[in-house]
Amino acid sequence: MQSQNSLFREQGFIHLSREACKLAMADVEQALSRLCTLAHGDKSGASGIVSVFEASNPDLLCRIEYLAGSDAWFADTLVPQLQRLVEQQVGQAVNLFKDKCNFKHPGGGGFTPHQDVVAYRPFGSDYQVTAAVMLDAANAANGALEMARIWGCGEDEGVWVDTPRGRQVLLPSYQGGARNGDIGDRFSSTMQWQRVDAQPGDVILFDSYIPHRSSPNSSRSTRRILFFTFNLASEGDFYHQYYQRKWATPDDPLFHVSTPTRHSALSGNNQR
């Protein structure tokens, strides 16, 4: 059987079962519920929690962010556990870069094909790994994550970057417009997508070069996933800088890469 590290290295993602991760899910739920209560009563945004609503329905919450910055249990207990899981795969120390809970309520929108590195590279970090913690079962009906391999990209296309997982490519993508962040069609149209169905407590680790997407939630129940993104510690500590910028310019398209949310550059649709 292939070792977990070599699977992550080869695929760019790995699905860890709840039995393997042993996260205290009741505590996770309690911490999230504290944050939801705080976010709900804080229309001014003074708590620092970032609430982002769906473009198609301004009453439907898409996500909240700044979890570890807002709750000591996330910062002191969950983040170090996830950090260790990521470090085991990457073989290097990592720091928390950003965090969020995507709610994907019934009717919530999907995420079009993208690479997360598009949204993080402008901060000066070239490689990130996200730990996605399932709070609800994720499946075809409610919009589970889907991953794909990159193939057919020449040396002169995209931007090639040396990473702990070998050379990876940042594919050409759309900038601004309704397709902001989406991988160029020449690449995404021929990708074969693998849906990763998962159970509450499972963790999917994926790096920021792996193309991924998800469908809208067409079921009757909410599909929540927590996402904790880590960068290589050798590149620095970005968490506070990242949120300073997000608080100042929440509508910057950089914070809306292939998401079902609204940003400030909705006219134009330029592929770079």
Ligand X SMILES: O=C(O)CCC(=O)C(=O)O
The answer to whether 70 contacts ligand X (rule: CB under 6 A) is no
In 44-198, alpha helices (H)? 72-73, 79-90, 117-120, 185-188
- Residue 28 and residue 173: Cα distance in Å, rounded? 35
Q: Is 143 among the residues that bind ligand X (CB under 6 A)?
A: yes
Compute the least distance from the CB of residue 2 to ligand X, in Å.
25
Residue 146 binds ligand X (CB under 6 A): no
Taking the C-alpha atoms of residue 96 and residue 79, their distance in angstroms, rounded to an integer, is 8
Per the structure block, which two tokens stand in for 204? 């999917």
Q: Does 115 bind ligand X (CB under 6 A)?
A: no
120 binds ligand X (CB under 6 A): no
Residue number, nearest CB to ligand X? 214
Question: Binding residue for ligand X (CB under 6 A) from 16, 148, 225, 232?
Answer: 225
The residue whose two tokens read 């960068």 is: 231
**Which of residues 111, 209, 228, 255 is near ligand X by CB under 6 A?**
111
CB 110, min distance to ligand X, A: 7
Cα distances from 95 to residues 6, 15, 130, 182, in angstroms, run: 22, 21, 11, 26
Least separation in angstroms between CB 40 and ligand X: 21
Binding mask 183-222 for ligand X (x = CB under 6 A): -----------------------------x-x--------
Residue ranges in 75-104 that form contacts with ligand X under rule CB under 6 A: 102, 104
Out of 65, 116, 202, 207, the residue judged to bind ligand X by CB under 6 A: 116
What's the helix, strand, coil split of the chain in %, to 5?
Answer: 25, 30, 45
Smallest distance, ligand X to C-beta of residue 108, A = 9
Q: Which residues of 247-263 are buried (b: 16+ CB within 10 A; e: fewer)?
A: eeebeebbbbbbbbbbb
Question: What tokens does 151 get?
Answer: 């193939």
Name the residues that contact ligand X, by CB under 6 A: 102, 104, 111, 116, 143, 145, 212, 214, 225, 227
